[in-house]
Structure 1
Amino acid sequence: MSNRDLIIFITLSFMWSLSFIFYRIGVPEFGSLAFASLRVVLAGLTMLVFVILKKKNRVGIRENWKVLTLVGLFSAAVPFILFAFSARSVNAGVLAVLNASVPMISGFIASVFFKDRLSKKQILGLVIGVIGVMILMSENLFGGQGAGSGSGLLPMGYALLACVGYALGANITRNYLENVSPVAITAGSLIIASVIMLPVAVYEFPYGKSISLTAWISVICIGVFSTAIALIFMNQLIKSIGPVRATSITLVIPIFAIILGYLLLGEALDTPAIIGSIVILFGTYLSLNLSFKKMLKS
C-alpha cells in the first residue's frame, strides 16, 4: 500500500464519517427514505457533470453499462434503502457494528468466488478491527440505551444484506471493471442508481413540510461530497489495493464519527471510545498489511 493510497484511505474515512453528522441533521426533517434517495439522486447529478465534460467517461459507461448497473444496485441503491429501513428500529451503535462486517464479507466473497486469498495477518487484523468496533460501541450495544430499538432481527437482517451489497459491489468493481477509470465507474453506477431511486425520492419527499436551510445543506453535502466524490476515491482504492483492504475503511469510520460528534455535536468521548479506537487502528494496520519501515523509506 503506497503512501498515496494511505492518504486517500484516511481522507475517505473522514468524508464518510461526515455522513453520520449529515444524517443526524437531515433525516429528522426529510425522513430516512427521502434523505437516502435524495442523497443518491444528488450524487448522480454531480457525476453527470463528469460524464458531460469528458468523452472517455461516456465511452467507459456505454461499454460497461450492464456491469455498472450491478455496481449501482449493490453499492448504492439497494444498501441505502436497506439501511434506511433498518435505521428506523435499530440504534446507531448496532448499525455501526453491522457495517463493520463489510471487510469480512468482502474477504469471504473474494476468497470463495474470485480466488483472492487473504494472509493470516490480514484475517487477524479484520477480526481485531471488528472487536475494536464492538468496544467502541459497547455502551450503545450493551448499556441498555435503545435496547428495544436494536432487538429486531429483521431490521438487523436488512443492514447485513446492505453490507453484503457493499462487499459484492466492491468485488465486482475489482474483477470486472479493471480497465475502467474510477470516475467512469462512479459516474455510471451512481447515475443508474439515481434513476432507480428517483421515484422513491419523489414519493417519499415531505411535501408541505418546512425544511430548514441546514437540512438542505446536509443532504447536498452528503450527496456531493460523502457519496459522489467519496466513491471516486473508493473505486480508486478498490482498483489499487483490492476490495477487502479497501472495505476495511468501515472499521475506521466510527472513530472519525465519534471525534466529529464530540467536536461538532457535543457528544461524549468516553473510555470505551478511546480503547476501541486504539484496537481498531491496530486491526486496520494489520488488515491493510502496512509496514512503518516501508512507509518511512518511501
Structure 2
Amino acid sequence: MSKRDLIIFITLSFMWSLSFVFYRIGVPEFGSLAFASLRVIFAGLVMLVFVMVNKKNRDGLRDHWQLLALVGIFSAALPFVLFSFSAQSVNAGVLAVLNASVPMMSGFIASTFFKDRLSKRQVLGLVIGVIGVAILMSESLFAGGVSEAGLANGLLPMGYALLACVGYAVGANITRHYLYNVSPVAITAGSLIIASILMLPVAFYAFPYEQSISAKAWVSVVCIGVFSTAIALIFMNQLIKNIGPTRATSITLVIPIFAIILGYVLLGEALDTRAIIGSVVILIGTYLSLELSVKKLLKS
C-alpha cells in the first residue's frame, strides 16, 4: 500500500464519518427512506456532470452499463434502502458493528468466488478490527442496543443491515474483478446514475410533502450526496482497484473512530476510556489487515 493510497484511505474515512453528522441533521425532517433516496439522487446528478463533460466516462458507461447497473444496485441503492429500514429499529452503535463486517464478507467472497487468498496477517487484522469496533460500541450493544420491541423484533432489522453489508462486499468484488480497466470516475458515475434512476420513485413516494423542510436539512442531504457519496465513491473505487476489495472495505473499521471524534468536536458528545481503547485496537487491526509497512511508507 503506497503513501498515496493511505492518504486516500484516511480522507475517505473522514468523508464517510461526516455522513453521520449529516444524517443527524437531515433524517429527523426527511425521514430515513426519503433521505437515503435523495442522497443517491443528488450523487447521481453530480456524476452526470462528469459524464457530460468527459467522453471517456461516457464511453465507459456505454460499454459496461450492465456491470455498472449491478454495482449501482449492490453498492448504493440496495444498501442505502436496507440501512434506512434498519435504522428505524436499531441504534447507530449496533449498525456500526454490523457495518464493520463488510471486509470479512468481502474477503470471503473474494477467496471463495475469485480465488483471492488472504494472508494470515490480513485475517488476524480483520478479526482484531471487528473486536475493536465491538469494544467501541459495547455500551450500545449490551445496554439497550436494540429498540424497545426487544431482541426478537430487532433481528429482522439487523438482518437488513447485514444484507446491506453483503451488497457492499459484492459491489466491491465486481468492481475489482470485472471493471479493472474502467476509470474510477466512470465506475462511480455509471453506478450512481443508474442507482439514482432506480431510487427516484422511492423519493417521490417517501418524501414528507406535508412537512416544511429547513434549509439546514436540505444542505445536509446535498452535502451527503455530493461529498460523502459521489466524491467518496470515486476515492473508494480507486482504492478497490489499487489495493483490492478486502483491504479497501476495511475502511468500515476506521469510520467509527472518526465518527466519535466528529461527535466530540461538533456535537459535544462524550469521549470516554472505552472509546480510546476501542480506537487503539481498531488501528492495530487496520494496520495488520492493510499489510502496512512503516519503513516502506517512509521510503515511498
TM range (shorter): over 0.9
The answer to whether the 8 A contact 2:90-2:145 is kept is no
> Which deviations, in whole Å up to 9, do the C-alpha atoms of 1:146-188 show, x marking residues without a partner?
5536721110000000000000000000000010000000000
Deviation at 1:295, TM superposition (A): 1.0
Residue 238 (str. 1) matches residue 223 (str. 2)? no
Residue 209 (str. 1) matches residue 200 (str. 2)? no
Once residues 144 and 190 of structure 2 are traced to their aligned partners in structure 1, the CA distance between those partners, rounded to angstroms, is: 43
Runs of at least 4 residues off by over 4 Å: none
Which of 281, 284, 287 is the equivalent residue of 1:282? Answer: 284
Deviation at 1:145, TM superposition (A): 5.7
Q: Give the fraction of aligned pairs with identical amino acids, expressed as a percent.
A: 82
Residue matched to 1:9: 9
The answer to whether the 8 A contact 1:25-1:218 is kept is yes
> Which deviations, in whole Å up to 9, do the C-alpha atoms of 1:25-67 show, x marking residues without a partner?
1000000000000000000000000000000000000000000
Once residues 268 and 138 of structure 1 are traced to their aligned partners in structure 2, the CA distance between those partners, rounded to angstroms, is: 15
Deviation at 1:293, TM superposition (A): 1.0
List alignment gaps of at least 5 residues for structure 1.
none
Once residues 150 and 87 of structure 2 are traced to their aligned partners in structure 1, the CA distance between those partners, rounded to angstroms, is: 9
C-alpha root-mean-square deviation of aligned residues, in Å? 0.9
Once residues 52 and 25 of structure 2 are traced to their aligned partners in structure 1, the CA distance between those partners, rounded to angstroms, is: 32
Residue 110 (str. 1) matches residue 110 (str. 2)? yes
Once residues 227 and 85 of structure 2 are traced to their aligned partners in structure 1, the CA distance between those partners, rounded to angstroms, is: 23
Which of 191, 194, 198 is the equivalent residue of 1:192? Answer: 194
Residue matched to 1:94: 94
The answer to whether the 8 A contact 2:51-2:186 is kept is yes
The answer to whether the 8 A contact 1:122-1:288 is kept is yes
Deviation at 1:144, TM superposition (A): 3.3
* 1:232 partner letter: I
The answer to whether the 8 A contact 1:82-1:159 is kept is yes
The answer to whether the 8 A contact 2:93-2:145 is kept is no
Residue 227 (str. 1) matches residue 229 (str. 2)? yes
Residue 77 (str. 1) matches residue 91 (str. 2)? no
The answer to whether the 8 A contact 1:74-1:165 is kept is yes
Once residues 82 and 124 of structure 1 are traced to their aligned partners in structure 2, the CA distance between those partners, rounded to angstroms, is: 29
> Which deviations, in whole Å up to 9, do the C-alpha atoms of 1:220-246 show, x marking residues without a partner?
000000000000000000000000000
The answer to whether the 8 A contact 1:90-1:150 is kept is no
Residue matched to 1:270: 272
Once residues 276 and 9 of structure 1 are traced to their aligned partners in structure 2, the CA distance between those partners, rounded to angstroms, is: 19
Deviation at 1:79, TM superposition (A): 0.5
- Answer with 280-289 or 140-149: which moved more: 140-149
Once residues 88 and 110 of structure 2 are traced to their aligned partners in structure 1, the CA distance between those partners, rounded to angstroms, is: 31
Cα 1:19–1:282 change in 2 (3 A) is: same
Residue matched to 2:166: 164
List alignment gaps of at least 5 residues for structure 2.
none
The answer to whether the 8 A contact 1:103-1:250 is kept is yes
> Which deviations, in whole Å up to 9, do the C-alpha atoms of 1:92-139 show, x marking residues without a partner?
111000000000000000000000000000000000000000000011
* 2:283 partner letter: L
* 2:203 partner letter: A
The answer to whether the 8 A contact 2:94-2:145 is kept is no
Which of 180, 183, 188 is the equivalent residue of 1:181? Answer: 183
Residue matched to 2:33: 33
Residue matched to 1:126: 126
Residue 255 (str. 1) matches residue 254 (str. 2)? no
